[in-house]
Amino acid sequence: MDDVKIELLPPGTALAWGHTPAPRRGPKPGYSLEQIVDAAIAQADAEGYAALSMPSIAKRLGVTANALYRYLSSKEELLVLVAEAAWGPPPEPSSGDWRTAVTAWARALLERCRRHPWLIDLPVRSAPSTPNLLGWLENFLEGMADSGLNTQDVTGCAVLVDGWVRSTASLLRDVNASPPDQVRALGSFLGPRLEARGYLRVAAVISGEAYGEEGIEEADIEFGLGRILDGIEALIERR
């Protein structure tokens, strides 16, 4: 791969870009790297991030954990490839102004988190370095191209919106994991006790005036994104 020393790159980067390492000794591989990544995603979809271990993935494939190291040098390398595949390619750039483009970008990213909730548990150890993740960044930068902000500011906006998506996805996952019966019971239990302490506003929230039994509503999600976009708009107006 050009004159770059592959061993100096972050784990998984070269593989994600199609670099094929030298074949290792031993039996001919029975699986492709893509099949292993697909099995890992299926494992995480079924049992969550904690199930992304080499032994559990090997069991799903019907091989030994040691056999996986014929394809991958480490679990960290696998996680990079799994993230690359699960996030997938970015959506087509949205037409319209920067606000429309960023809204579409954030919604698309949140949709991927809803499809694979464990994605937000994956460790983020470095800046994006794989094709799909860099494609998401390119998509954001293109959407902000006419905003008048410099590259540093736009990159900061990308980090801000990405952080909102991840925190919102985490909140949605946790809230929606609560059984409806438990939510109703908790509201009934806490309501009078909160009122007795004078926590009337919190009691109103718990009682369902702000949140229904279905959990957080779409309007609540859009509210947070809208305020972030208002802040970016204020920054643009100051430039």
What's the whole-number mean pLDDT along residues 7-20?
88
pLDDT at 164: 95
Report the percent of the chain where pLDDT is more than 90.
63
At 163-213, the pLDDT tens digits run 999 999 998 888 777 787 887 888 889 989 999 999 999 988 887 644 554
Is residue 93's pLDDT more than 90? no
pLDDT at 94: 79
What does the H/E/C string look like for the chain?
CCCCCHHHCCCCHHHHCCCCCCCCCCCCCCCCHHHHHHHHHHHHHHHCHHHCCHHHHHHHHCCCHHHHCCCCCCHHHHHHHHHHHHHCCCCCCCCCCHHHHHHHHHHHHHHHHHHCHHHHHCCCCCCCCCHHHHHHHHHHHHHCCCCCCCHHHHHHHHHHHHHHHHHHHHHHHHHHCCCHHHHHHHHHHHHHHHHHCCCHHHHHHHHCCCCECCECCHHHHHHHHHHHHHHHHHHHHHC
Confidence of residue 239 (pLDDT cuts 50, 70, 90): confident
Confidence of residue 125 (pLDDT cuts 50, 70, 90): confident
What's the whole-number mean pLDDT along residues 88-106?
91
Q: Of residues 39 and 71, which shows the higher confidence score? A: 39
pLDDT at 225: 95
At 29-57, the pLDDT tens digits run 678 999 999 999 999 999 999 999 999 99
pLDDT at 28: 65
pLDDT at 151: 94
Mean pLDDT score across all residues of the chain:
88
pLDDT at 226: 95
